[in-house]
Amino acid sequence: MKKSLVPVLGLAVVLGGYFALANHPAMAIHKEMKTYEGTLYVAGMGGHFAKTEVSIDPASPEPISVKELDRIVIGDKNTHPVHDARIDTKDKNVMYWSTYKLDPNNKVHVGKSDLKTGKVIQDVALELDPRATWTGALYCGSGQTTGSFLPVTMTNEAYIDVFDKATMKHKARVFLDYAPGTYMFYHGTNSPDGKKFVVAINLTTDGKPNGNVDMLMLDLAALEKGKVKVLAKSRLTGAPGNTLTFRQAFTPDGKYVLQSGADRFYLLDAASLALVDEEMVSDGQNHDAIPTPDGKYAVLTLRSPVADKHDPEGKSVTDGMVQLYDIGGKRILGKPVSTCLACHDKMGLTGSAALCGLDANWK
């Protein structure tokens, strides 16, 4: 089912009714709704992550509120534009990342940062694979095992790399069975139990995305060793030229895959990769989605066009925003909130602020 990703305009009225009818059964539901506190780490093209302290109240007309904004810097916009944020499953103070563009020396970077100090722990610069003849977009999606970090490229040809977490030594490189020119972009990540790795592949016709997306489920133990074992496969359909899948995440119970799709958001059954829900994006592009710790909601990243308040004519710029999705109710809740321009304004910066991936530490 396709639904619009727009603010639920009647929500305020409904909530007002709840408060007016104190004995109404819905009032008890409202009281039982859980709120969430946490820190979002949102990847940006300026060589840093927005460190965003948020409070999430699903019952509010504006569910996500930003309490504080800061940055985790890994480089600058010329050397370390980044789309990838991946917090270690065992150590919440360590975040792995990989860069989206080549640096001035034609190298791509893979590294890890200390989230307590904000300092880079290790930064490895390496050559792209010679089979990657189109290099307009590099690493974006990523997954992990207990001992390995697995960033995924958007190059053509695209591939999945395997790095040792402790040493950041490159261990393996995996190409899938897709011919060059028949697809655009790989994105992938691991299941919570560390047994599976889902990959989204945008299919193309004459070099242009045709709206079809292949979803593959791979055996993660084999992938970590540089081998491919396909466990499941499905195909999603979208709009040619508008639908492009980017990053994704599993719910904590491993039941669902939260898949971004630019002009839409997909909720998939993780066992079969079948479509469960589909939300159309009317204000921007969806580039990532991560679950709350109980798996009841998802935080979506959006690239949204907004009026430039620094331009007298109010020309449009891009803002990085987050919005809430109700997994059980299969609906978007409330309005999106800025995580990028809000921080740039505080620093006196102007122009667009593009985000992509995110990860979170929840309280």
Least confident stretch, 26-40, 147-161, 335-349? 335-349
CA dihedral 23, 29, 32, 35 (to 10 degrees): -120
Nearest partner of 191 among 267, 253, 238, judged by Cα: 253
Q: What is the pLDDT of residue 283?
A: 74
Percentage of residues in the chain having pLDDT higher than 70: 82
Other C-beta atoms closer than 10 Å to the C-beta of 38 total: 16
Place 205 in a pLDDT band, splitting at 50, 70 and 90: very high
Helix (H, G, I), strand (E, B) or coil at 236: strand
pLDDT score, position 192:
98
Task: Measure the CA–CA gap between 196 and 354, rounded to whole angstroms.
Answer: 30
pLDDT reported for residue 356:
74
What is the edge-to-edge ordering of all strands in the sheet holding 160-164?
Answer: 139-144, 148-153, 160-164, 170-174
Element holding 75 (H helix, E strand): none
pLDDT at position 307 is 54
pTM tops 0.75, yes or no: yes
Query: What does the pLDDT average to over 65-75?
Result: 95
pLDDT > 90: percent of the chain: 77
Q: Render pLDDT for 306-328 as a digit per residue (tens, 0 to 9).
A: 555 555 666 665 576 899 999 99
2-5 and 275-281 strand pairing: parallel
Quick one: pLDDT at residue 11?
28
**Could you give the dihedral angle defined by the CA atoms of residues 148, 149, 153 and 157, in that order, rounded to the nearest 10 degrees?**
-10
Neighbours of 5 (CB within 10 A): 21
Supply φ then ψ for residue 87, to 5 degrees.
-80, 140
Average pLDDT, the chain: 87
Q: Residue 23's pLDDT is what?
A: 39
pLDDT at 133: 95
pLDDT of residue 299: 96
Compute the C-alpha angle 347/106/132, nearest 5°.
Answer: 115
Q: Could you tell me the pLDDT band of residue 12, with boundaries at 50, 70 and 90? A: very low
Instruction: Judge whether 248 and 289 are in contact, CB under 8 Å.
Output: yes
Q: Please state, in angstroms and rounded to a whole number, the distance separating the CA atoms of residues 323 and 258.
A: 14
Contacts of 34 (CB under 8 A, 6+ apart): 58, 294, 296
Neighbours of 185 (CB within 10 A): 22
Statement: residue 36 has pLDDT above 50: yes
Would the pLDDT of 83 be above 90? Answer: yes
CATH code of 45's domain: 2.130.10.10
Task: Read off φ and ψ for residue 222, nearest 5 degrees.
Answer: -70, -45
Token pair listed for 27: 């009032």
Q: How does DSSP assign 302-345, residue by residue? A: EEEEEE-TTSTT--EEEEEEEEEEETTTTEEEEEEEESSHHHHH
Is-contact 4 280, C-beta < 8 A? yes
Cα–Cα distance between 190 and 36 in angstroms, integer?
24
Measured between alpha carbons, how far is 94 from 41 in angstroms, rounded to an integer?
12
Structural domain range at position 11: 2-31+38-362
Q: How many domains does the chain have?
A: 1
As given in the structure block, the two tokens for residue 225 are: 């060793």
Q: Residue 102: what pLDDT?
A: 98
Nearest CA-CA partner of 247 in 297, 296, 198, 174: 198
Q: How many residues does the chain have?
A: 363
